[in-house]
Amino acid sequence: MREPQSLFLTEDSLGIVTDLYQLTMAAGYFEHGVHDITTFELFVRQLPENRSYLITAGIEQAVHYLTHIKFSEDNIQFLRRLPAFKHVSYEFFKYLQNFTFSGTVYAMPEGTIAFSDEPLIRVTAPIIEAQLVETYLLSIINFQTLIATKSSRIVYAAKGREVIDFGTRRAHGPQAGILAARSSFIGGCSSTSNVFAAYTLGIPAVGTIAHSWVMAFENELDSFHKFYETFPDYTVLLIDTYDTLTGAQHAAMISNKIKGVRIDSGDVLKLSKEVRKILDAKGLQHVKIIASGDLHENRIDDLLKNNAPIDSFGVGTEMVTSKDAPALGGVYKLVEQGHKGKIIPKMKLSKGKVTYPGKKQVYRITDTVGNFIKDVIGLEGENIEGIPLLIPVIKDGKPCYNLPTIHDIQRTASENLIHLPNPFKYLTDAETYPVYKSHGLEVKKQEAERIVRDMNM
């Protein structure tokens, strides 16, 4: 009888957490002696529907990956046995045995606001290394950026009320639940229900009871009393298991020390108002109302516009899957290649997927109080006013910056959002933030296009 597989990632197998074509290309470059220093950039061509900005996230896990990637002996034996690698020399597998990432990486710090076409991370390394890491970088940055962005929209809609991540059970696996807890905290959530995320990241964990608790005792009132006995300072009671208004009356009978009640079903707008009245009539003005159940930014906006007396929102599925736009289409493209002492700008001309060549930097122009006016995507080193957003995070394979805490990152995101004018933050029909390409970049593009056409057409 074989053992069930966990499929967990482990540090010693990070080299093969990639697409096979990265490894066939690696072998091909190796066999042809191509070890040119190249630069790749990760960017998003088009923001998802209804998104007017991105909150960057996932850089820390990207740095972990780049500074730990290697191939285990078993991984290498596996690759050697693949029929496709039949003609590949022993030296290539020897090379994989000693593989580490030796390149230099620039990235926007996590919590930065970014827009389409702006490089979020820029990798300069020997071509095999820079290429191999594409799949993992895309996967970890696409997802965390997607969720940090979504959570910032939900937090914006909540107008200062707490938003709590309740999403692990509907995330794309338990690991995605942890990454979602991290990135939704970056986007502005106050806490998470995920204990592992709280443990590893140091963010607040919250949670009290499910319907099953209420059902496990003889009746609701008894179940409420029992919970209060064990958690007298942290009692939030779920009141909709049988009948929400009766549940509110039961909650009011427990103690004036209870902290809150939660409503998870039904007409939350109407129920929250009636529950508020029941609690207030018993002198429980300080007891909070928490709402949960298929909430998202538009629903929350709607509830608050109708004066729902809700103090906190528990948000799950819609946030951790970014349900209305569940993928971020980040791409990772070769933009420059050193070859025989020359630096050659690179671009592709595929229909609808043309890329800009050259090693780029993003310059943010703000007014005197720091409010964002516009961005310019230019060349690294080009003389452009504004704050350069890409900073060095890895130099020659070693981390070269002080990793911010998750609280620092949340603060960065929050301050950036304050400086992004409101019309760019509207939940629907937000304005498009002005992002320009520099003169230097346009000239570089024409130059590269000429080279490519001369060589290929």
226-255 residues near a copy of itself, rule: CB under 8 A: 226-227, 229-234, 240-244, 246
| From 127, 258, 377, 417, residue interacting with a copy of itself (rule: CB under 8 A) | 127
Q: Both tokens of residue 339?
A: 């070859």
In whole angstroms, the minimum distance from the beta carbon of 258 to a copy of itself comes to: 13
| From 219, 307, 432, 446, residue interacting with a copy of itself (rule: CB under 8 A) | 219
307 sits in the region (left: phi over 0; alpha: psi -120 to 50; else beta) called left
CB-wise, 31 or 302, nearer to a copy of itself?
31
For 342-378, give the DSSP string: EEEE-----TT-----S-EEEEEEE-TT--EEEEEEE
Cα Rg of the chain, angstroms: 26
In whole angstroms, the minimum distance from the beta carbon of 49 to a copy of itself comes to: 12
In whole angstroms, the minimum distance from the beta carbon of 369 to a copy of itself comes to: 33
Q: Give the footprint of a copy of itself on residues 132-171 (CB under 8 A).
A: 134-136, 138-140, 142-144, 166, 168-171
CB-wise, 386 or 397, nearer to a copy of itself?
397
Question: Rounded to an integer, what is the distance from CA 445 to the centroid of its chain?
Answer: 30
Interaction between residue 334 and a copy of itself (CB under 8 A): yes
In whole angstroms, the minimum distance from the beta carbon of 296 to a copy of itself comes to: 12
Query: In angstroms, rounded to a whole number, what is the distance separating the alpha carbons of residues 177 and 166?
Result: 9
CB 194 within 8 A of CB 205: yes
Q: Both tokens of residue 131?
A: 């290429």
| From 148, 328, 389, 441, residue interacting with a copy of itself (rule: CB under 8 A) | 328
Amino acid at 382: E
In whole angstroms, the minimum distance from the beta carbon of 370 to a copy of itself comes to: 28
For 432-447, give the DSSP string: PPPEEE-HHHHHHHHH
| Alpha-helical regions (H) of 321-437 | 406-419
Render the burial of 75-102: b for 16+ CB within 10 Å, e for the rest.
bbeebeeeeebeebeeebbebbeebebe
Q: Both tokens of residue 249?
A: 């009356």
Q: Give the footprint of a copy of itself on residues 421-440 (CB under 8 A).
A: none
Nearest to 360 by CA among 333, 339, 335, 387: 335
| From 35, 94, 159, 172, residue interacting with a copy of itself (rule: CB under 8 A) | 172
| From 17, 343, 430, 435, residue interacting with a copy of itself (rule: CB under 8 A) | 17
Q: Give the footprint of a copy of itself on residues 336-395 (CB under 8 A).
A: 337, 346-353
Stretch that binds a copy of itself, among 15-23, 109-117, 360-368, 428-436 (CB under 8 A): 15-23
CB neighbours of residue 49 within 10 Å: 8
352 sits in the region (left: phi over 0; alpha: psi -120 to 50; else beta) called left
In whole angstroms, the minimum distance from the beta carbon of 114 to a copy of itself comes to: 18
CB-wise, 207 or 397, nearer to a copy of itself?
207
Nearest to 43 by CA among 115, 110, 112, 101: 115
Stretch that binds a copy of itself, among 93-101, 154-162, 175-183, 284-292 (CB under 8 A): 175-183
| From 73, 97, 102, 215, residue interacting with a copy of itself (rule: CB under 8 A) | 215
| From 266, 338, 386, 388, residue interacting with a copy of itself (rule: CB under 8 A) | 266
Stretch that binds a copy of itself, among 74-82, 98-106, 380-388, 420-428 (CB under 8 A): 74-82
Interaction between residue 32 and a copy of itself (CB under 8 A): yes
Q: Give the footprint of a copy of itself on residues 194-213 (CB under 8 A).
A: 194-201, 205-213
Q: Give the footprint of a copy of itself on residues 267-296 (CB under 8 A).
A: 267
Q: Both tokens of residue 13?
A: 């197998």
Place of tokens 């996967």: 139
Q: Report the length, in residues, of the chain.
A: 457
Render the burial of 227-250: b for 16+ CB within 10 Å, e for the rest.
bbeeeeeebbbbbbbeebeebbbb
Task: Say how many residues touch a copy of itself, by CB under 8 A.
Answer: 144
Interaction between residue 397 and a copy of itself (CB under 8 A): no
In whole angstroms, the minimum distance from the beta carbon of 268 to a copy of itself comes to: 10
